[in-house]
């Protein structure tokens, strides 16, 4: 990935008659895009995306809203970010019945700045993950379920 060179800004401080040049580092935030598209067998989907344990997007898909896109801002000082997908998806089965599956998937993003990631489900909508079809090294999928998605019990 090419990183543009940005000029540094200096602030001159006058202290007891001495001028000091103090470089200021401006943290340049990055971003990536996540696209979620309703599959043909989906009736609806509500899913939440957490990045670095923070809720950053909620996707709500149905027949009237078959696709949603979210731009996710990330801090400049980090290149790797954890992610978790949580929620539920309602599917229409071949016999006409509906079935609800829990969305629960996690992984690690490597240098996602500037990338477009797809939110996907596989294995009959039992595995959920992000993917970059242009660069598979961006997303590392983790097996198993995330405790972030655990529903509270009382």
At 19, is the secondary structure helix, strand, or coil?
Answer: strand
Tell me what pLDDT residue 27 has: 54
CATH assignment at residue 74? 2.60.40
DSSP state of 79: S
CA 125/CA 140 separation, integer angstroms: 19
Note whether residue 3 is domain-resident: no
| pLDDT at residue number 15 | 38
3 vs 136, residue with greater confidence = 136
Residues 41, 45, 49, 53, CA torsion sign? negative
Contact call for residues 20 and 13 (beta carbons, < 8 A)? yes
- Whether residue 55 is contained in a domain is answered as yes
Is residue 47 included in any domain, yes or no?
yes
Spatial distance between the Cα atoms of 45 and 148, rounded to a whole number of angstroms: 18
- What is the rounded CA–CA span in Å between residue 29 and residue 51? 14
More confident residue, 2 or 133: 133
Q: Tell me the CB-side half-sphere exposure of residue 2, using CA atoms within 13 A.
A: 3
**Residue 122 falls inside a structural domain:** yes
What pLDDT does residue 120 have? 94
Considering only 49-63, 95-109, 140-154, which range has the smallest mean pLDDT?
A: 140-154
Q: Quick one: tokens of 150?
A: 């655990």
- For the segment 45-73, what is each residue's pLDDT rounded down to a tens digit? 999 999 999 999 999 999 999 999 999 99
- Residue 10 in domain: no
Q: How many CB atoms lie within 10 A of CB 120?
A: 18
Contacts of 58 (CB under 8 A, 6+ apart): 46, 47, 48, 49
Q: What pLDDT, on the 0 to 100 scale, is given for residue 149?
A: 83
- For 16-53, write each residue's pLDDT tens digit: 444 444 444 445 579 999 999 999 999 999 999 999 99
Asked if residue 72 belongs to a domain, the reply is yes
Number of domains in the chain: 1
Specify if 4 maps to a domain: no
Q: Give residue 76's pLDDT.
A: 80
State both tokens at 74.
């990330």
Nearest C-alpha neighbor of 39 from the set 97, 91, 94: 91
Distance CA(137)–CA(1), nearest Å, equals: 12
Mean pLDDT of the 138-150 span: 83
Q: What's the confidence (pLDDT) of residue 71?
A: 97
Domain that holds residue 84: 30-149
41 domain residue, yes or no: yes
């Amino acid at each position: 990935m090419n990183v543009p060179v940005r000029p540094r800004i200096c602030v001159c401080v006058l202290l007891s008659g001495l001028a000091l040049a103090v470089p200021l580092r401006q943290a340049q935030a990055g971003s990536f895009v996540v696209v979620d598209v309703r599959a043909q067998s989906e009736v609806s989907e509500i899913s939440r995306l957490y990045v670095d344990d923070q809720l950053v997007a909620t996707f709500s898909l149905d027949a009237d809203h078959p696709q949603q896109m979210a731009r996710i801002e990330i801090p400049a000082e980090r290149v790797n970010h954890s992610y978790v997908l949580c929620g539920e998806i309602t599917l229409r089965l071949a016999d006409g019945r509906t079935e609800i599956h829990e969305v629960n998937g996690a992984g690690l993003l490597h240098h996602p700045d500037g990338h477009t990631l797809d939110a996907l489900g596989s294995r009959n909508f039992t595995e959920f993950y992000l993917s970059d079809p242009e660069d598979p090294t961006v997303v590392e999928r983790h097996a198993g379920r995330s405790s972030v998605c655990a529903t509270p019990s009382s």
